[in-house]
Amino acid sequence: MTVAIVGAGAIGGLLGGHLARSGEDVILIARGAHLEAMQANGVTVRKGRDEFTAHPRCTDDMSAVAEADIIFITLKAHSIPGVAPRIGEALKDGACVVGAMNGIPWWYFPDRHLESVDPGGVIARSIPEQQVVGCVVYPAATIVAPGVVEHEEGDRFSLGEPDGAKTERLQKICTMLSAAGFKAPAQSRLRNEIWLKLLGNATLNPVSAVTRATLGEMFDSEASRALIRTLMEEVASVARSLDVELPVSIEKRMQGAAGVGEHKTSMLQDLEAHKALELDALLGAVIEIADWRGVAVPSLRTLYGLAKLAEAVALRGD
């Protein structure tokens, strides 16, 4: 199979490097100095003292998607609307698109779109629902130099059909990822897992952007723990309004996050790099759903406003 990875940054480079090393025909679609380095020297993946270099095809031409049987979208969620029409135009019949991004995905509701995720419904119009496979991404990785990806932790990509079916194409993708060294379970209730991850991403990431605290620092005091607990409880209440029951308690989720220690969230790293933040897909979408379902989320609204302000200041380069 030919695999295209749209947005081959840290996670996309990690994924593409492993798939290429396992023998898959891989096309990395990227840009800038990172693309130039991968074209010249391949993509290097490091984890601890181990590293390898793979040499997949690398391009900035979105039309390369036309060659692919499987397309992973590993862009930040707010970047997808801008490229979705070009992806849709290039898709061949029978190809499937794996949405491997954080937050509420554009395909979550088959009968409505979220403006915070898919403004005007452009993604849903561009990428046919029947060609979509869902994905929850757990690895953490960073581009430490152009063409070089540091794999920090995590090796799981959970996958599922939007309707929960166990299909042949889903199993093929899971088998391919497993052969590349990842854990890749096929899930029949992927939406529950989306919300479990969102429980942390919609709260800890924006808190880190506002306070510039590491995960460990967020749990240093009872006051900050109480705040995070309140935020997570509001996220969980929105999930319950959609008949989603989280498989892990809030206390256990907090314990897991605190155990990570002095780690900067990806949102904090983006803030420090003066990049746009992934706020809307992570937190804005939860608030939009809360408005629709009539769920009160006052603390999440306050956090969203503060994080938007932190983003605006950072983008000014002050």
Enumerate helices (H) and strands (E) in the chain, giving the number of each: 14, 11
What DSSP line would sit under 4-58, residue for residue?
A: EEES-SHHHHHHHHHHHHTT-EEEEE--HHHHHHHHHH-EEEEETTEEEEE--EE
Evaluate whether 149 touches 56 at the Cβ level (below 8 Å). Answer: no
Evaluate whether 140 touches 201 at the Cβ level (below 8 Å). Answer: no
DSSP class of residue 282? Answer: I
- What is the C-alpha separation between 101 and 103, in angstroms, rounded? 7
Q: How buried is 109 (Cβ within 10 angstroms: 0-12 exposed, 13-18 middle, 19+ buried)? A: middle
Catalytic residue among 197, 252, 275, 308: 197
What DSSP line would sit under 108-167, residue for residue?
A: S-TT---TTTSGGGHHHHHS-GGGEEEEEE--EEEEEETTEEEEEE--BEEEE-TT----
Sheet holding 70-73, edge to edge: 57-59, 25-29, 2-6, 70-73, 96-99, 132-137, 157-160
Residue 197 is a catalytic residue: yes
Residues that are catalytic: 197
